[in-house]
Amino acid sequence: MTTATAIPGKHALVTGGGSGVGRAIALALAGADIDVTICGRREAELAKVAGESDRIFGISADVTDEAAMAALYETAEAARGPFDIVVANAGMAGSTPAHKTTLADWQRTLDVNLTGAFLTVKPALAGMATRKAGRIVFIASTAGLKGYAYVAPYVAAKHGVVGLMRALAAETAKSGVTVNAVCPGFVETDMLEESIQRIIEKTGRSAGEARTSLASTNPQGRFIQPQEVAAAVLWLCSDAAQSITGQAISISGGETW
């Protein structure tokens, strides 16, 4: 059931909306009376988030699969209208010294984080340009702005996402479309828990030590909450942010700028 304050026709896509940052973004957009299609590979996770709001709709799709993303666009846009907002959030990270990184790990990390981001936004570009309106937001990372040890493919992919964002912002500047990236430091999600687990396994440190070491990369000494990233995305999607395009906004307690 929709509310009386709904903005007719506003429809957003959030990839990786079944967990963490993507879930928080989907809930924030739905809270602003925007219909939200979320995607990911795990149907059960999508259904859980869709169950949290009448405005959220799950469609399972892998962002690395061009045909699956085309099918998602067809189904979601037929049901709820063209996407006004596209948030390329799906991502994954592993951790290995560069000299031990296999070609398969390198390729998979680029496929999901960079090619997946491109395949997420590409089908929206022509329609947004024709309608002279649209918002595209990439969830990059501070790893798109600086280097970190043992995550070379992830750092390369996220730098690529920032480059893709800048290219699209230049290409769409005259069309009423804005394209930006948000670059969080460590956010308290499953991805962070996986990083902590890897540190414990590889170094024998305790969970507390691993958490303290990762939190210390943030000058504020804390982990960012998914809702903080969602608030920045919501602002970038608002009318107030019409002049903001081509920006990589660091959400990191001052770790990068």
Ligand X SMILES: NC(=O)c1ccc[n+]([C@@H]2O[C@H](COP(=O)([O-])OP(=O)(O)OC[C@H]3O[C@@H](n4cnc5c(N)ncnc54)[C@H](OP(=O)(O)O)[C@@H]3O)[C@@H](O)[C@H]2O)c1
Footprint on this chain of ligand X (rule: CB under 6 A): 15-16, 18-22, 39-42, 45, 62-64, 89-93, 112, 116, 139, 141, 184, 186-187, 189-192
Which of 146, 205 has the CB closer to ligand X? 146
Q: Smallest distance from the beta carbon of 148 to ligand X, in angstroms?
A: 11
DSSP per residue, 11-51 = EEEEETTTSHHHHHHHHHHHHTT-EEEEEES-HHHHHHHHT
Residues 6+ apart with CB under 8 A from 150: 95, 96, 97, 98
Q: Which helix (H) or strand (E) holds 171?
A: helix 152-172
Q: Which helix (H) or strand (E) holds 196?
A: helix 190-203
Residue 214: name the closest of 161, 143, 152, 113 by CA.
143
Which of 161, 177 has the CB closer to ligand X? 161
Q: Smallest distance from the beta carbon of 236 to ligand X, in angstroms?
A: 15
Q: Which of 73, 148, 150, 154 is catalytic?
A: 154
Residue 150 designated active-site: no
Coil, helix or strand for 222? coil
Which of 30, 63 has the CB closer to ligand X? 63
Which of 131, 193 has the CB closer to ligand X? 193
Q: Smallest distance from the beta carbon of 189 to ligand X, in angstroms?
A: 3
Residue 101: name the closest of 64, 146, 156, 150 by CA.
150
Q: Smallest distance from the beta carbon of 131 to ligand X, in angstroms?
A: 26
Place of tokens 């019409």: 242
- The bridge status of strand 177-184 relative to strand 248-251 is parallel
Q: Catalytic residue positions?
A: 154
